[in-house]
Amino acid sequence: MASMTGKVGLIVGVANKRSISWAIAQAAAAEGAQLVLTHQGERLEENVRELAATLPESANPLLMPCDVTSDAEIDAVYNAIETKYGGVDFLVHGAAFADREDLAKPFYETSREGFKKALDISAFSLVALTRRAVPMMEARGGGSILTLSYLGAERAFTNYNVMGVAKAALESSVRYLAADLGPKNIRVNAISAGPIKTLAASGISGFSSILQTYRDRAPLRRTVETSEVADAAIFLLGPAGRGVTAEVLMVDGGFHAVGV
């Protein structure tokens, strides 16, 4: 039996076939999970619908719109989950956004509104989605929550700016949520992946040079693929990771460990 047979997962952040969230969705479906995929508005709905159609029939996918800044839309997603599946076992949070102009200029010039938007979408949304998932997971004996981060949470990267601050808040949120929810047998972790050409990455100026730096300096002398991040995600979400919580797992070819 596959490791996630009988489990229901909510995956937030699928934009297109290059999304890390999509790679995780494919891996979870291959392990037998039933999936709920959300999309950000009508612009991305067609992409997500076409991708969902390629999942195995056992994934029984449900597609829902979800603006993560709207508690009403988050509630609607969980109400639909409860109606169709009776609850949820795992959550993958892949939502992140910052205004392009706030990424392009020096961090000290970040606008107040841009700062609030980046922190709301990229960090607080994990809290909002978790809050609604907790009673469902607790009723099913526990669960697992996973979010996606980057090394820019720990180090200053050129043109990452306010997103790095948001990711730092996200990683801190993982630790506090894990401390809160451990007694309920709900684990909370993050994966800090190496740079990958996703839709979000397209907003970072000079991204190609970042990729080349990883190829030159990471111990594996290459960047990572979405499928490698997805495999690590299945470990953290599934029974093999049952003793792991409050962790930020680096899946970056070892780049984080090297100096000059």
So which residues are the catalytic ones?
150, 160
- Return the structure tokens found at 45: 């709905």
- Our separate counts of H helices and E strands in the chain read 9, 7
**What is the SS3 assignment for 107?**
helix
77, with CB counted inside 10 A (0-12, 13-18, 19+), is buried
* Paired tokens of 15: 């934009």
Report the C-alpha gap between 115 and 49 in whole angstroms: 31
The SS3 call for residue 190 is strand
Distance of CA 186 to the CA centre of its chain: 17
Closest CA to 38 of 4, 86, 88: 88
CB-based contact 193:18 (threshold 8 Å): no
- 60 HSE (CA, 13 A, CB side): 12
As to burial, measured by CB atoms within 10 angstroms (0-12 exposed, 13-18 middle, 19+ buried), residue 154 is: middle
